[in-house]
Amino acid sequence: MPSSIDRPSAERLEHLLAQATQALRAGNPEAAIAPLTEAAAICPDNAPLRHDLGLACLEVGRVPEAIAALQLAVQIDPRYDDGWFRLGIAREKQGDIGGAVVAYDRATTLNPALPEAWYRAGGLVYMLGHRDEAIGCFRRAAETGQKTSYGRLGKARALLTQNRDDEAEKVLRKTVAVDPDDALAFDLLGNLLAEFGRFDEARTCFERALALAPLLAGSYYDLVRCRRVTPGDSAMLDAMQGALNAPGLEVSQRHRLHLAIGKAADDLGDFAFAMEHFDAADAVRQAMAPFDMARFDAEVDRIIARCTPERMAQAAGLGRPDTRPILIVGMPRSGTTLTEQILSSHPDVGAAGELNFWNERGADWHRQTAASAEDAGFLCRAGTDYLRLLRETAPKKARVTDKMPFNFLWAGLIHLAFPHAVIVHCRRSAVDTALSIHQTNFHPGLAFPTGGDNLVAYFRSYQRLMAHWQAVLPPAQFFEVDYESLTSDPEPVIRALVQACGLTWHDACLSPQLNPRSVKTPSKWQTRQPIYQNSVARWRRYQPWLGPLAALIEPEGAAGQSEPVEPPG
């Protein structure tokens, strides 16, 4: 009991703490908040008391109040590692990814033996595109956690991030055998199985995870993407809508849950209801990660001004002659995954998936002047590091694909570093692409709009930049794949693509659905189907509810405006 308060206050404090303790032991953190708040007013400089108040608020979903209390706790005691850890969780729940990473870093600096903090930090930095840092965090979780849940999960995530999927599956199988109540392990195993097209097994894992942890409601997003939702799934639909009202539901979980309900409604043909939830998901995302469209547009202007025809013509004397990289670029949801599946079906081609390399090097390039950034030294270092990364991914392949869509920003820089590398641009009907983006989960850490006027403006800037690349890059190094042409008559397009990449023909490229590699993008289900055309002109189903996206509808006769054709069977 603090000696600086008078006896009546001390007696009142003792009563309040007893009341809060009783509520917490009874599993009722909501009832503990009021006595803890009053107790904190009596002892305003008590860091553990502020922490307990923040934790109680966190457990009932009152996240802003939790953050306020936990911030006070670490201000009172900057070496309070548990306070920093809980603050990280609260910021993560709020969608403040950068703030959460900072808090976890502070917690693990003060106390390296915090496996959950290492694990959570690893997940966040991975989503931000920092692969090596994420592996380090996951390994620290495994080392400090040993036989704990987060230790085992850390080991599995480190393996997954290194694409050692078979080893990761063994770890996860053992984890759920040892602890059949580990919801996170079931969720992670479900995602791994879905990436390999084992959708029935994945579905069972997601259902188990949701039964164990209802607040993991974002897993419905992965569950509904394992197959089409039918009228027989009414119980699941009711459960998803009920989960929206669950107290304590994290912002990121709510975002994915809205998308899951929208996808289910789409499968059932209720497009108005589907769009209501897609719009709601976009609103949640915008609140978590506002997008500065003016700044992006200015960046595109800078890139165009920098990558002049004269500068691009100098590439042969600056970069490496290596032809190993194949860059697949374009807007998300424009067919980049399908294109990678086609090319990586060829025995001479490995697939690296979505590498963040050029986003990071491009940011460095953006911050520097042309004289310092585009010199031979910068390009040589970038080329050396990139080839090392490709060799680690597919050491025995003559070509390796990198399908990070946002490399469309850095096509000029990539050409300067690798003047003989092929850049494949995937293009699709603007409104179909935007609608698909609007319906898909993108992590809040990714600076990218998913709806409304911002998405329309982003698309216009992208089109402007791609027109520039088409004008300044050599035709032999810049090949375009039209999604509508690819899906309506695949073989001629695929043959031209294979030839453009400098490869001999192989029949396996005609059957990308048979490609056994794991697919870590939202196109897990689609890539396991034969090439189909029923995603062409999907916008027509949503025409009354498109809102600002209607501005992207192209004139009749343009690509992507034909009526959808259902695939056989």
The pLDDT score that the predictor gives to residue 565 is: 31
> Does the residue 497 lie in any domain?
yes
Q: What is the DSSP string of 225-262?
A: TSS---GGGHHHHHHHHHHTT-TT--HHHHHHHHHHHH
Q: Please state, in angstroms and rounded to a whole number, the distance separating the CA atoms of residues 366 and 378.
A: 13
Q: Please state, in angstroms and rounded to a whole number, the distance separating the CA atoms of residues 31 and 211.
A: 26
Residue 128 or residue 52, greater confidence: 52
- Kindly compute the dihedral angle of the four CA atoms of residues 500, 503, 507, 511, in this order, to the nearest 10 degrees: -60
Q: What is the CATH number of the domain that holds 408?
A: 3.40.50.300
325-358 confidence digits (pLDDT tens): 999 999 999 999 999 999 999 999 999 999 989 9
Instruction: For residue 126, give the nearest of 90, 168, 167, 160 by alpha carbon.
Output: 160
> Does the residue 560 lie in any domain?
no
CA 529 to chain centre: 23
Of all residues in the chain, the percent with pLDDT exceeding 90 is 77
What confidence tier does 447 reach under pLDDT thresholds 50, 70, 90? Answer: confident
In terms of residue numbers, what domain contains 79?
A: 1-111
Mean pLDDT of 296-300: 95
The pLDDT score that the predictor gives to residue 248 is: 74
Mean pLDDT of 298-307: 95
Mean pLDDT of 149-166: 93
**Residue type for position 302:** R
What confidence tier does 557 reach under pLDDT thresholds 50, 70, 90? Answer: low
Domain end, chosen from 47, 80, 111, is at: 111
> Does the residue 155 lie in any domain?
no
How does the average pLDDT of the chain come out, rounded?
Answer: 91
> Does the residue 206 lie in any domain?
no
Q: What is the DSSP letter of 565?
A: B
The pLDDT score that the predictor gives to residue 374 is: 61
Q: Please state, in angstroms and rounded to a whole number, the distance separating the CA atoms of residues 159 and 181.
A: 22
Counting the structural domains of the chain, the total is 2
Look at the alpha carbons of 317, 319, 321, 325 in this order and tell me if their dihedral is positive or negative: negative
500-514 confidence digits (pLDDT tens): 999 999 999 999 999
> Does the residue 569 lie in any domain?
no
The pLDDT score that the predictor gives to residue 555 is: 80
| Res 445 pLDDT > 90 | no
Instruction: For residue 327, give the nearest of 397, 391, 408, 389 by alpha carbon.
Output: 408
| Res 1 pLDDT > 50 | no
> Does the residue 339 lie in any domain?
yes
Mean pLDDT of 195-205: 94
Mean pLDDT of 124-140: 89
| Res 238 pLDDT > 50 | yes
The pLDDT score that the predictor gives to residue 443 is: 73
What confidence tier does 528 reach under pLDDT thresholds 50, 70, 90? Answer: confident
> Does the residue 279 lie in any domain?
no
Strand, helix or coil at 92?
helix
The pLDDT score that the predictor gives to residue 370 is: 53
pTM: 0.86
Domain end, chosen from 95, 111, 127, is at: 111
Residue 9 or residue 81, greater confidence: 81
Beta bridge partners of 314: none
> Does the residue 249 lie in any domain?
no
Q: What is the CATH number of the domain that holds 5?
A: 1.25.40.10
